[in-house]
Amino acid sequence: MGATLPRPALVDLKGRIFLGALAAICLAVPLLNLVVPEGSGLHLPTYLVSLFGKYLAFALLALSLDLVWGYCGILSLGHGAFFGLGGYAMGMYLMRQIGPRGVYGNPVLPDFMVFLNYTELPWYWLGFDRFPFAALMVLAVPGLLAFVFGWLAFRSRVTGVYLSIITQAMTFALMLAFFRNDMGLGGNNGLTDFKDILGFPVQAQGVRVALFLATAAALAIGYLIARFMTVSAYGKVLIAVRDAEPRTRFLGYRPEAYKTLAFVVSAMMAGVAGALYVPQVGIINPSEFAPTNSIEAVIWVAVGGRGTLVGAALGAILVNYAKTLLTGALPDAWLFALGALFVLVTLFLPKGIVGTAIERFGSRRAAARLPPEPEIPGKLAEEGRG
């Protein structure tokens, strides 16, 4: 073995800033919520803790999307499906935790099943009373769907816009399916009225803070996994596939394998994001599968900067914060603003906030390292003569 080629650091400068900021809010939020007394001006109300937790769950969804879009060129318009499936898996666990405390007091069947005259639990609800099983399903269901869907699509070389359209059709089909009462998943109303998670009341202040911290941790872990993948040799091939997929085949790579792996990991991350989202907002219903939701997630990534990971998370938080502000103040203006954001970012900020910042900041450093002007390969001619 010869010398080692330089491998990029797992956590680079922007990663250090990102993880540092995440650690800082993980300290600040519990402190301001639990320790600072309620009367104080510095006190953070519990509903805001859950709101921030929701933002972080969206950030993880955006991160997962960036892994496939930014590094692999797969513009998935169906990531909401993976998010929703993860959310439903968690929702099913939370429903089973209600036990006999439902309106109808049935110890096994959730209220909506009693209402719809179910006599016993459908088979796919079995096992969801146990957290480890539910947690496994949070990963396995989105992962399996992504594997089947991705493997079929990538092997058939469905790329670009076509892939985007069929991912959209996928989430649309799921939305229609989950709207049906016959699915045994609550139909229109979805799953809600949760009571406990892991034996703790889901509404309690401490549990809210814990859920927030868990989401932050998941985001950090998700970032590290995505980063590990993208700086490895695997990541190099992934980018090669993004830029010139046919060319990689002639080098002996199988792009479908690389893409499927990224797609599956990404779907699992989105599933985890959904699972963390559900207990914090207290409901999961089929509208999570709406194609619009998935496209909205794409714009978070675009705003932050695709292919930067940190930017995706930042974009998700910024856009959702703006959404909270605007829908509160000027409900009509939000869709105008969101629509304008789509247009303006694609036209004027194609690299997003973080991408543009890196370009500005990075190009000055790169300029210093710029190699000398190209020379005609005299060495080459020499070689031939020898």
Distance CA 61, CA 365 (A): 32
User: Can you tell me whether residue 15 is helix, strand or coil?
Assistant: helix
Nearer to other proteins, 38 or 382 (CB): 382
Residues ≥6 apart with Cβ < 8 Å to 111: 98, 102, 103, 104, 193
Query: 192 - beta bridge partners?
Result: 283
Residue 141's region, left for phi above 0, alpha for psi from -120 to 50, else beta, is alpha
What's the closest the beta carbon of residue 89 comes to other proteins, in angstroms?
Answer: 20
Among 39, 100, 199, 384, binds other proteins (CB under 8 A): 384
- # chain residues binding other proteins, by CB under 8 A: 89
Nearer to other proteins, 85 or 94 (CB): 85
What's the closest the beta carbon of residue 217 comes to other proteins, in angstroms?
Answer: 22
- What x-and-dash track marks residues 305-344 binding other proteins by CB under 8 A? ---------------------------x--xx-xxxxxx-
What's the closest the beta carbon of residue 6 comes to other proteins, in angstroms?
Answer: 9
- What x-and-dash track marks residues 275-294 binding other proteins by CB under 8 A? ----------------xx--
**With binding defined as CB under 8 A, does residue 365 bind other proteins?**
no
Which of 53, 38, 65, 56 has its CA nearest to residue 266?
65
Among 36, 42, 136, 381, binds other proteins (CB under 8 A): 381
Nearer to other proteins, 213 or 314 (CB): 314
- What x-and-dash track marks residues 40-79 binding other proteins by CB under 8 A? -----------------------------------x----
| Phi, psi dihedrals of residue 3, rounded to the nearest 5° | -70, 160
Among 2, 100, 107, 132, binds other proteins (CB under 8 A): 2
What residues between 4 and 43 interact with other proteins by CB under 8 A?
Answer: 4-5, 7
Handedness of CA 370, 375, 379, 384 (dihedral sign): positive
Which of 62, 84, 98 has its CA nearest to residue 275?
84
Q: Choose the binding region for other proteins from 36-44, 50-58, 197-205, 295-303 (rule: CB under 8 A).
A: 295-303
Distance CA 207, CA 202 (A): 6
The pair of structure tokens assigned to 76 is 């998935």
Burial class (CB in 10 A: 0-12, 13-18, 19+), 274: buried
DSSP state of 309: S
Among 104, 124, 200, 228, binds other proteins (CB under 8 A): 228
Among 207, 299, 314, 354, binds other proteins (CB under 8 A): 299
Parallel, antiparallel, or unpaired: how do β-strands 191-192 and 196-197 relate? unpaired
Nearer to other proteins, 124 or 336 (CB): 336
Among 206, 247, 321, 325, binds other proteins (CB under 8 A): 247
Among 107, 251, 329, 368, binds other proteins (CB under 8 A): 251
What's the closest the beta carbon of residue 35 comes to other proteins, in angstroms?
Answer: 42
User: Can you tell me whether residue 375 is helix, strand or coil?
Assistant: coil
Nearer to other proteins, 47 or 364 (CB): 364
Among 20, 105, 350, 362, binds other proteins (CB under 8 A): 350
Q: Choose the binding region for other proteins from 37-45, 158-166, 280-288, 315-323 (rule: CB under 8 A).
A: 158-166
Among 35, 236, 325, 330, binds other proteins (CB under 8 A): 236
- Contact criterion met (CB below 8 Å) for 311 and 301: yes
Nearer to other proteins, 329 or 380 (CB): 380
Distance CA 92, CA 110 (A): 9
Looking at the chain, list the stretches that DSSP marks H as alpha helix, in order from N- to C-terminal side.
13-30, 46-72, 79-98, 111-115, 131-155, 160-179, 205-231, 233-250, 255-281, 291-304, 310-329, 331-348, 352-369, 378-385
DSSP state of 124: G
Q: Choose the binding region for other proteins from 13-21, 166-174, 199-207, 315-323 (rule: CB under 8 A).
A: 166-174
